[in-house]
Structure 1
């Protein structure tokens, strides 16, 4: 309990010393609240299950390559898998202003092209700090041995 209180106090102190960084806010596309517009995509199980084998392996290889490309272009802020419950397979958060642009980007994904997954798209307003996930993540991932 004491450790939790200490951690909360430390966080409060750190927040008190945080200073607005206008250059960073501009770089990340933040508004006056530190937020920005995104499009959230939920990937759900589609009508065409591709059976195990070379075609499925190639499809998922392309899926991961496509995500890496979109992240490198600054369009994909965040992505990751779900547990599969209720057909929910994964999510994308695109750093774009409208659903049509996100729809065009998600259409480049091999799992969508083949019907393994289908996208559900929604506007999302969230922290512009999400734009730094792709910059920070490689520093957290252990290199392959």
Structure 2
């Protein structure tokens, strides 16, 4: 009986996660807002900071190949409309660049970001945060 109860509890807890994962038509969260007499729709985007990772011992040739794969990967996501803004940061800090993802959940943003060849190789790590912005104000 205890095993049946635990199994049922697991199914009930897991069901929303599986339902969300299976729903590829999920849309980003939005709400309407008025500011200075202007009505706008606010949308939740996800800003992904690309930071220096722990594995930076690749040869110059390997690093260059990874960079080309990285740019091709992010360019493809941009072409698909998954990324709306993307680029490197300047300076010598930990943050090497950032991307703004137009997806429904933080989990989707993390999954896309973690599939970047530079992240997979350990040269970069990701930090993801929700970011609210008025639609049409510089971001599709």
TM-score by length of structure 2 reads 0.67
Q: Equivalents in 1 of 2:124, 2:91: separation in Å?
A: 11
Counterpart mapping for 1:72-83 below 5 A: 72-83=79-90
Q: Which runs of 5+ in 2 are unaligned?
A: 1-28, 33-39
Q: 1:69 aligns with which of 65, 76, 81?
A: 76
Residue 115 of structure 1 corresponds to which residue in structure 2?
122
Q: Quote the RMSD (CA, aligned, Å).
A: 1.9
The superposition leaves residues 18-57 of structure 1 with CA deviations (integer Å, 9 ceiling, x where unpaired) of: xxxxxxxxxxx97532321101111111001144422111
Distance, in Å, in 2 between the alignment partners of 1:92 and 1:111 is: 14
Q: C-alpha separation between the residues in 2 aligned to 1:125 and 1:118?
A: 23
| Count of residue correspondences | 104
- 2:51 is aligned with 1:44: yes
Q: How does 1:1-145 map to 2 (within 5 A)?
A: 31-32=31-32, 33-129=40-136, 130-132=138-140
CA distance in structure 1 between the aligned counterparts of 2:79 and 2:110, rounded to whole angstroms: 18
SS at match of 2:93: helix
Unaligned runs of 5+ in 1: 1-28, 133-145
